[in-house]
Structure 1
């Protein structure tokens, strides 16, 4: 990776895409280990072999120079394979499926519905998060007191979805799409939430034994055909090129699979249980006017032990009849109250949990308040309370108050929205998320815009970076030298430029260590990047102890997993300090 210096001395990192196509092609084969490396260590040390000696120095050096990249690629492939296998086993997942016969009896939030495994293998269903978790991670799904798998979701949505799968299986000759309807489902906050999570597509494959055997036979036939073609020198050279490309493709696909597994776990972990509870089932239930509603202990714990809603539930799948509750509200409203609490637990960080709607909305809101729940949409912060307290502790001053002043979930990533919401507020905490990585920067000052819309403002300001997840075992503060603690802010229509007067970004922190609104090298020169386009790196001398993330070939740390990424979410908090 190369680097340059702007006219004001700020360092600008460039990416592999800025090199020539020839250099990139050569790097794909010869520059191993790859630009992005993990500090977790290689599992493939056994692959490394000492090359046999020919006896002539020039030939031995030539042989070793050709062998080294292959050995390194082999190590990298084995490391990915070992890590992927361990990730699956750690989540109590199945490495192979035995078949698709039979059914799974599932308790969906209090309503028991048998689901045939064949329904999960329908073409429109098998590549969804739901099919993946039910077929490959059935052992990780909690069970109720009757040993039925339990999914903590709205039973009305579950009943609709299973019904749609049955219709699709029955009418396979006709086109039937499983999608939320505009007239009703898209207006239902619960349906939108669960369909967006469970029916989200995944590239993870579901392969049955007969399908695996067929694939292996096709691969064997392909390799046999290749072997017959290997006769002449030109054919051998072409085959060698193909094999080198195949190795590189294998690494790329392994890395993509690992990334997709991590995304799958981020979405589905709230529905799984890695450790069996000591006290039996984690399922809690309540019965109101003859309707049983179930959820998990984890959902109720978020409400607090003294919460009125939590007190309605007892352990097991058959809650005692709550006659007093039935005198105060309907079973339908009670289900909506419980599901609002449930969605706060399972919704991704950085998302909004919308209030449900009912025919009598005023009564529903009264029920929310009587059960101790807020009667408004809830925003799920990128940081848990514990993580936030640890990051605030890095400031080194007593914190009097914190306030969320900007969130991409509500305002998007448009740059001009940021100064509108932040204004002249001082003490700003930027929290960023890309995949599993949560990181950011704190500046002890205000985001001072320049006087002109097309100019920039460059000023000294005490800052520090931090990493919350993805690189360390716990939140970690990343400090840089005082003379590097600077911020540059572009005007609403302006750009921060590099020394070639190229438009580079909208915000820069720490002498170019973090950029927001960053223009990726391959981007259209006329396109205006939004704040989701991020560029971040930390010098190798600034990396704290315990770092387990990726680094580049210069040894610089990559708190976002790579140097240039597209953010999933962005928050800005005002943190007020003082005695």
Structure 2
């Protein structure tokens, strides 16, 4: 009889191990406690099975933790960074910045206002990965004037702290209007939640908090402890996930300093102007093409065709080089690379254009839907001063409502079939109603033809009477939709009193926001329209009235303070 009961007990433990996907080793497990009454022993067996499952889950979690730690270490090393500080915490980081040899205080980089910046992490963890100049010094392809100023500011702040005072490192109004200072300040002073680990002989890593009370609490608290441990584990894993994301963002930002776009090592190029060295990388120059005068100047040539490359001041030459440098580094969608400035703007313009660049701001394409020139023209049609676009959405309707939120100033971009591309700009917000309702409200808006309907990007004003938007609730597709008044059709969003329907179908609505219906009265189309006119004398900015677009994006366009050229 006892043999049967023990067999039953062992069977419960073995079954629990099998459920958890773990082998059962009878010699390594304590005997299963037994009460002797079968109905109660079943409860004991269930508790044992739960404990074994917890043990097995803990082993799996440890394996997952090991894998995550390994992947995070790979992220760090993929940027060329070290896992420990390079060069300790004393002295200076000596480097060549754009042709000028500078030093940056290591202790200054560890100040509270600096230790979380990209510059501190770059110079303290990644300096060995930077390319080298002809003297073997780490080379940083950035504006030397800005880094020289920042290094001095760091040293002053370090001195202030030693005196028990504070100094905040920030640009003054003149520097904030200087495109070079403003751009590099934004990049290098960007912050991360990652900290810098200062080595200490006393530092030891604990294996964990463990059971600090020595198990003195009653049995009723055991499961509370397990729950707390699980919460602690979840919190630690979230911290690691956050760190991995921060490391990826940091790596993406600093990678252009470390290597060329194809992953090859940088070649440092130097020109001497009036006994002053100006340096950059082959990657910065090659984006302009080998025929570009600036590229040729760094290759030793001083002639472009029959016209000589005239000698410039070192200040203007540095401005030209930094403009090219910023064109390479600033590639965020929709970002604007400001043209350089100097005391003599007329002469600077001549010098910039002599080296094959245009003295104008360059706006990066918002997305594959637009090229550079189209981006500039389309964003200008929003009439937002000093616009800064930010991508909010590309996905289904529910996602769109969540991601767009309460943003005001929404630019819709639609790619019908690559040939026909168009958009719409709303000067206000999308205002979803209760989940099963619809909401119609007045809102200033316009349509924009990008290609297909016109020979160039063209703004299509909408009559005030049609400046209305209708939005359906985010839940229950068949319970919340907008219904057309003259046909059996429905959608989830329409702009301009029906000029543009999204998530449209007959009877509908569609699950896909890209399913659209679009038309414009002929009288509302500006001159130069190249599209078709249907039997109702209506046109369209797409290739047809009803279609499924290849792509749709929604951008938030915000304005900023004016800058002085």
TM range (shorter): 0.5 to 0.7
Is the Cα contact below 8 Å between 1:107 and 1:150 reproduced in 2?
yes
Task: Give the distance between the partners of 1:416 and 1:266, measured in 2 at CA.
Answer: 29
- In structure 2, how many angstroms separate the alpha carbons of the residues matched to 1:267 and 1:131? 13
- Aligned equivalents of 1:332 and 1:305: distance in 2? 24
- Is 2:311 the partner of 1:332? no
C-alpha change, 1:93 and 1:340, in structure 2 (3 Å) is: same
SS of 1:85's equivalent in the other structure is helix
Cα distance, 1:48–1:266 mapped onto 2, change above 3 Å: farther
Give the conservation status (yes or no) of the 8 Å contact 2:409–2:557: no
Q: Specify whether residues 415 and 371 from structure 1 end up closer, same or farther in structure 2 by C-alpha distance, changes over 3 A only.
A: same
- Please tell me whether the aligned partners of residues 93 and 105 of structure 2 are also in contact (alpha carbons under 8 angstroms): yes
Change in 2 beyond 3 A, CA 1:80/1:143: same
Would you say the 8 A contact 1:142–1:282 is kept in 2? yes
Aligned counterparts, 1:37-76, within 5 A: 49-50=22-23, 58=46, 61-63=49-51, 65-67=53-55, 69-76=57-64
Secondary structure of the 1:223 match is coil
1:286–1:321 CA contact under 8 A, matched in 2? no
Work out the CA distance in 2 between the residues paired with 1:308 and 1:494. 54
1:379-528 alignment to 2 at 5 Å?
A: 379-381=363-365, 403-404=374-375, 406=378, 410=387, 412=389, 417-418=410-411, 427-428=415-416, 454=441, 492-497=468-473, 498-499=475-476, 501=480, 511-512=510-511
Q: Contact between 1:449 and 1:491, CA under 8 Å: does it hold in 2?
A: no
Cα distance change of structure 1 residues 269 and 115 upon mapping to structure 2, 3 Å threshold: same
Distance 1:449 1:130 in 2: 38
For residues 93 and 425 of structure 2, what CA distance do their matches in structure 1 show?
59
CA distance in 1, matches of 2:93, 2:556: 34
What is the DSSP-based 3-state SS (H/G/I as helix, E as strand, rest coil) of the residue aligned with 1:228?
coil
- The question of 1:157 aligning with 2:142 is answered no
Q: Aligned in 2, Cα 1:50/1:96: closer, same or farther, shift over 3 Å?
A: farther
TM superposition shift of 1:239: 2.2
Residue 164 of structure 1: how far off its partner (Å): 0.3
Determine if contact 1:143/1:283 at 8 Å carries over to the other structure: yes
Tell me the equivalent position of 2:347: 363
Does the C-alpha gap of structure 1 residues 238 and 566 become closer, same or farther in structure 2, counting only changes over 3 Å? farther
299-308 or 120-129, which moves further after superposition? 120-129
Residue 266 of structure 1 deviates from its aligned partner by 1.8
Compared with structure 1, are the counterparts of its residues 491 and 512 closer, same or farther at alpha carbon in structure 2 (3 Å cutoff)? farther
Question: Which residue does the alignment assign to 1:193?
Answer: 183
Pick closer, same or farther for the CA change 1:491–1:205 going to 2, 3 Å: farther
Whole-Å Cα distance in 1 between the matches of residues 165 and 302 of structure 2?
A: 45
Give the match for residue 449 of structure 2. Answer: none
| Residue among 255, 260, 284 paired with 1:299 | 284
Q: Provide the residue aligned with 2:431 in structure 1.
A: none
CA distance in 2, matches of 1:347, 1:78: 36
- Structure 1 counterpart of 2:271, from 286, 291, 308: 286
Question: Secondary structure of 2:150's match?
Answer: helix
The residue matched to 2:203 in structure 1 has which SS?
helix
- Structural mapping, 1:223-234, within 5 Å: 223=209, 226-228=212-214, 230-234=216-220
Higher mean displacement: 495-504 or 350-359: 495-504
Matches within 5 A, 1:121-200: 121-172=110-161, 173-182=164-173, 184-200=174-190
Q: How much has 1:90 moved relative to structure 2?
A: 2.1
Q: TM-score, normalised by structure 1?
A: 0.59
Quote the Cα distance in structure 1 between the aligned partners of 2:237 and 2:326. Answer: 37
Contact 1:101 1:117 in 2 (8 A): yes
User: CA separation in 2, counterparts of 1:231 and 1:453?
Assistant: 61
Shift of residue 234, structure 1, vs aligned partner: 3.4
List runs of 5+ in structure 1 lacking aligned partners.
Answer: 1-46, 393-398, 430-441, 457-489, 516-564, 571-579
Other-structure match for 1:89: 77
Q: Report Cα offsets for 1:359-413 as digits up to 9, x if no partner.
A: 2212211211111012110122356xxxx5xx99xxxxxx9x9933645993546
**Bigger Rg, structure 1 or 2:** 2
Query: TM-score under structure 2 normalisation?
Result: 0.61
- Identify if the C-alpha distance between structure 1 residues 214 and 502 changes in structure 2 by more than 3 Å, giving closer, same or farther: farther
Note if contact 1:358-1:364 (Cα within 8 Å) is conserved in structure 2. Answer: yes
1:513, 1:410 → 2: CA distance?
30
CA–CA separation in structure 1 for the residues paired with 2:229 and 2:121 = 32
Deviation of 1:63 (Å): 4.1
Q: Which 5+ residue runs of structure 2 have no aligned equivalent?
A: 1-19, 33-41, 391-406, 427-438, 444-465, 483-491, 495-500, 505-509, 515-552, 559-565
> How far 1:128 moved relative to its partner?
0.5
Q: CA deviation at 1:203?
A: 1.1
Mapped to 2, the partners of 1:108 and 1:508 lie a distance apart of: 51
CA distance in 2, matches of 1:274, 1:355: 23
- Alpha-carbon RMSD: 4.4
